[in-house]
Amino acid sequence: MIKILIANDKGGVGKSLLAQFCVVALRGMNRDPRLVEYDRQPKLCRWFGVEEVKTFSAGPGVISDQDARTFWDPMVDWLNDNRAMVVDFGAQAWGGFLEWADASQLATLHRSRAVRLLVPVTADLEAISAATAALTGAKRVLPEAQVLLLMLDKDGAVDFLTGVGAYDTLLRTAEATGARHLVYPLLRAEALPALDARGWRLDTIVAMQDVAGFGVSVPKPALQRTVVAVRAWMTEMYRILLPEFLGALAAAAPPQPSPPQPAALPPHVVQQWGHMLRDLPSVAGVKPWTDARTLSPATKR
């Protein structure tokens, strides 16, 4: 089953938003992912509830033996069981994970090809250095994982750093470790922080038909623009990451898998990308299925 790890020891690069999207996407594919976050300022538990999220207050500092047993040892079973998983490593937590993984020789305990490590990076030198360390560490402790470097232009255009030593080192490291580059679309939604602070999730925002239902003291035009922006961003995220999710599911599938069903995908995503859900599984070796909502009236007849 697909295991999604999200890491960059620099804060503010979009890890938590990315984790929230991954949870919503997997649930939309009728997967029930285990939710784990290692963070001293956790967010997943605010969106999905403390009962649904295993939260560990991990950050800078030496990981004691007790911390290793409490925080990290369960990861061996979680990486190897038959349940999807999303893990959000907060700022500095990935370094603690690597320390534990090296000491525990995680590479000998886990060989699944269904692991995807998502490493978001912005045009910030600290974020770039942290991404380089994440790629190097992943190759060592999770050699079978596929690593995706997600370029986010939040702090300026990342590609404009070509020629800067730290960025060139990141590109060389990505090539050496087999990490692939993807675009992490920038989400500009003016009222999203106000909704986020009240626990509104991406899936509930995109489904909102009347912004009065948000019940917040924010001008309706700003709320409406936010809904439109989040819908567009979600659609783009599905376009970019859905093939990765399907590929990981195919890699982990038994000989005769049960195909994923997108019953809970947001309607606008089904409208835009239903053909991907229908066609890509066959490319990945998974039995295709047909969702009637994506068919034209003529095809239905």
Largest CA distance in the chain: 65
Instruction: Tell me the CATH number for domain 1-184.
Output: 3.40.50.300
Dig out the tokens for 288 from the structure. Answer: 């295709």
Does pLDDT of 291 surpass 50?
Answer: no
> What are the pLDDT digits (tens) for 68-113?
778 889 999 999 998 999 999 988 889 889 988 998 899 888 777 7
CA 89 and chain centroid, separation: 11
- Which residue ranges make up each domain of the chain? 1-184, 190-301
Residue from 113, 51, 103 nearest 80 by CA: 113
> What are the pLDDT digits (tens) for 235-278?
999 999 988 888 877 766 655 445 544 445 566 666 655 555 55
pTM: 0.82
What is the 3-class SS of the chain, one letter each residue? CCEEEECCCCCCCCHHHHHHHHHHHHHHCCCCCEEEEECCCCCHHHHHCCCCEEEECCCCCCCCHHHHHHHHCHHHHHHHCCCCEEEEECCCHHHHHHHHHHHHCHHHCCCCCCEEEEEEECCCHHHHHHHHHHHHHHHHHCCCCEEEEEECHHHCCHHHHCCCHHHHHHHHHHHHHCCEEEECCCCCCCCHHHHHHCCCCHHHHHHCCCHHHHCCCCCHHHHHHHHHHHHHHHHHHHHHHHHHHHHHHHHHCCCCCCCCCCCCCCHHHHHHHHHHHHHHHHHHCCCCCCCHHHCCHHHHC
Spatial contact of 249 and 26, defined as CB atoms under 8 Å apart: no
Does pLDDT of 49 surpass 60?
Answer: yes
> What are the pLDDT digits (tens) for 7-43?
999 999 999 999 999 999 999 888 899 999 998 888 8
State residue 247's pLDDT score. Answer: 81
CA 14 and chain centroid, separation: 10
d(CA 127, CA 209): 37
Residue from 119, 124, 126 nearest 88 by CA: 119
Burial label, 112 (beta-carbon count in 10 A; 0-12, 13-18, 19+): middle
d(CA 157, CA 268): 29
What mean pLDDT is reported for the chain?
Answer: 84
